[in-house]
Amino acid sequence: MRKRIIFHIDVNSAFLSWEALEQLKNGSDVDLRTIPSIVGGDPSKRHGIVLAKSIPAKKFGIVTGEPVFQAIRKCPDLTIVPPSHHIYAQQSKAMSDLLLSYTPDIEKFSIDECFMDTTGLRLRYGEDYMALAREIKDKIRDKLGFTVNIGISENKLLAKMASDFQKPDRIHTLFPEEIQEKMWPLPVTQLYMVGKASASKFNRMGIKTIGDLANTKPDLLEQQFKKYGSMIWNYANGLDDSPVQSQEMDAKDLSNETTVSFDITDKETARLYILSLSETVGMRLRKAGLHAGVVAIHLKNSDFETYSRQKKLENATQDTNTIFSVASALFEQAWKRDPIRLIGVATSQLQRNPVKQLDMFDLTGTKQTDRVRLEESIDKIREKFGHDYVTRGSLLHFRQNQEKNK
């Protein structure tokens, strides 16, 4: 009997699949998933990067993370759809709700992927984890309309690696005894947390595959790459004992972060992720009855270097718009124009009943109170019925204004 059974559930071409479903729901007779199409950038200006691609687009050599103009050169008839954050939030919430009907042991890793500790489901499913995975995969497809890959292993790292094997709508295992056959022959670039810059350094050392990395002396890697070298050697050997973090700790701060599978190199894409993270943080603050006195942005580049910037607020807040505005401004100040792999939005100096400095045009605080009540009402409706029932109009207008001011 295995100690743990961890699932990594990853939506296939998430943003594009979700845009396709929304268009079909609104009467479109074309499924974006069946034609060369991408989500990314502004179709009229042709800037930004490819956030998601259809399988027909992939046949033209289009890859996630490349510039939109470059994708158009490969496929002049390419259909381009701009990203719609509120649609992704709805679909992500719907998938989370479905998974929570199985177990509360779920860790949301990003808007389109999560870990699920199914060890506690043995009483119901026994050791037949494949049957459970098929049930979950097919239920997501039949009830929600999109497909996922599920990777299965004894730890989170290997489960995530497994879910990246052949796509779409597949289940793959990667247990420790399968590493040598299934993972080691892969290019080193396919190992989690290896970016282009790191891969280039590995190649100069003669390290071409994950197996090469796994069989390199860890002391040599640590000498060349410091802590990153030790961590990446463990990953190459399938070593990871991190738990599935399903519950918020009673911490001194509230934060949310996401690791993306490609390098973020433009502000437009970064703001999309900051918006998603800010909304989650705002909801958590309101649910806990807390106000944040400090907002921070955390960044990690493709070389695993981290840096951050924070700002103390005049008035502690739990307002999504305020968190997003401050986090976006901090990103502009902090970003070194290097390729970003992780973005985090954090809040600290949390207070339950903060003393607020009143706006001179709202001396009674009525506007502020009304907005808090509105957001709390929206949160309750979403928790009960899902995101389909309410879209945060003020947040969308805020983002549109940001776009106009670029």
Q: Hey, which residues are catalytic here?
A: 113
Adjacency order of strands within the sheet including 52-53? 52-53, 37-39, 79-81
Rounded-to-5 percentages of helix, strand, coil across the chain: 45, 20, 35
How far apart CA 74 and CA 214 sit, in angstroms, is: 36
**Strands in 208-305 per DSSP E:** 254-264, 291-301
Tokens representing 332 are 């502009």
For residue 47, with 0-12 CB atoms within 10 Å meaning exposed, 13-18 middle and 19 or more buried, which class applies?
middle
Does residue 278 contact residue 345 with C-beta atoms inside 8 Å? yes
Distances (CA, A) of 2 to 122, 147, 347: 11, 28, 38
Residue type, 123: L
Does residue 6 contact residue 155 with C-beta atoms inside 8 Å? yes
Residue 121, beta-bridge partner list: none
For residue 325, with 0-12 CB atoms within 10 Å meaning exposed, 13-18 middle and 19 or more buried, which class applies?
middle
Identify whether 56 is preceded by a cis peptide bond (ω within 30 of 0): no
The CB-based long-range contact list for 187-190 (8 Å cut-off, 24+ gap) reads: 188/212, 188/213, 190/161, 190/164
Does residue 144 contact residue 158 with C-beta atoms inside 8 Å? no
Q: What are phi and psi of 133, to 5 degrees?
A: -60, -45
* Residue 256, helix vs strand vs coil: strand
Q: What are phi and psi of 297, to 5 degrees?
A: -120, 135
Please name the helix (run of DSSP H) or strand (run of DSSP E) that holds residue 313, with its range, or none. strand 306-317
DSSP 358-376: PBTTBTT-HHHHHHHHHHH
Q: What are phi and psi of 288, to 5 degrees?
A: -85, -5
